[in-house]
Amino acid sequence: MVNDLKKKHVLWGVVPFLVTGFVCSAACSQRQLSSLPVWTVKIVAEYPHDQNAFTQGLAIEKGQMYEGTGQKGVSALRKVDFKTGKVEASVPLDDRFFGEGITILDGKIYQLTWQNNVGLVYDLKTMRLESTFRFTGEGWGLTNNGKQLILSDGTPFIRFLDPVTFKVVRQIQVRDPAKNRIKSLNELETINGEIWANVWYEDRVARISPIDGQVLGWVDLSKLIPQATRDREAVLNGIAYDTESKKIYVTGKNWPKLFEIEIQK
């Protein structure tokens, strides 16, 4: 009992120091985090979205939207009339694949699979599967910078791949100003030279520098479809940027709506 009391006294002597250190650390981090801008959004338009679509990737090319969906046995690449929500064409994936992010580059649609280390390459016009490629790690999100494929895998790292050899050209580690690594980076999109990334289970999008991985700010999308009104797995996931109209579209897994949004400073 005496030894136990001594231990308690020692611990209580240490705890204030630890608590003080923790509070200081948290406060310092909070000050650094608060320096990041947070943009809200204005909903410009709402369109119907197939609520059965487990959205994993979203892309738009010359006004035509394409969507990659997940879940084994029902994963697909879709061509969608986003104004009506009608699926105009659908290419099912092999049952062993869990579909993930998509992007469009040089007349090709690239689609990732989750844990099979396999990527799929389609002809944009015909949506015919032309070839496959291999990559290491998991496949989550996919975008491009006009020259390279940009891949997220759920870690704080984003890799840049050669679209011909599929070799990793370079990679960046995503961090905020407090040096916290940002993980669970999901669906990606390139917007005005930045990489925008959904964060799994969060209703915000990170705006990331493709040069060094620094988080430049956050886009708050929590008011589109509040979490309290949807299933836990029905997360925000899907960003498409129309380079011609400069319009941004977002949706989520099993969401009933697709939103055109405008960023509010």
CA 131/CA 228 separation, integer angstroms: 42
Query: Residue 25 — pLDDT band, cuts 50, 70, 90?
Result: very low
The secondary structure element, H or E, covering residue 69 is: strand 64-69
Structural domain spans, the chain: 1-34, 37-264
CA 141/CA 151 separation, integer angstroms: 6
**Predicted confidence (pLDDT) per residue in 158-184, tens digit:** 999 999 999 999 999 999 999 999 999
Pair 109, 131: CB distance under 8 Å: no
Q: Check residues 232 and 13 and name the one with the higher pLDDT.
A: 232
Amino acid 265: pLDDT: 76
Pairing status of strand 38-48 against strand 215-220? parallel
For residue 8, the SS3 value is helix
For residue 14, pLDDT over 70 is answered with: no
Q: Which two tokens stand for residue 258?
A: 């697709």
Which of these, 54, 72, 80, 103, lies nearest to 235 by C-alpha position? Answer: 54
Residue 107: burial class (beta carbons within 10 Å; 0-12, 13-18, 19+): exposed
Domain 37-264: which CATH number of 3.40.50.170, 3.40.50.261, 2.120.10.30, 3.40.1350.10: 2.120.10.30
Amino acid identity, residue 170? Answer: R
Strand partners, 162: none
Neighbours of 17 (CB within 10 A): 9
The whole model's pTM is what? 0.85
How many residues belong to the chain? 265
Non-local CB neighbours of 205 within 8 Å, separated by 6+ positions: 196, 197, 198, 199, 218, 219, 221, 236, 239, 250
SS (H, E, C) 41-55: EEEEEEEECCCCCCE
For residue 242, the SS3 value is strand
CA 71/CA 164 separation, integer angstroms: 28
Q: Which two tokens stand for residue 129?
A: 């599967």
Query: Residue 35 — pLDDT band, cuts 50, 70, 90?
Result: confident
**Predicted confidence (pLDDT) per residue in 50-89, tens digit:** 999 999 999 999 999 999 999 999 999 999 999 999 999 9
- Mean per-residue pLDDT for 37-50? 96
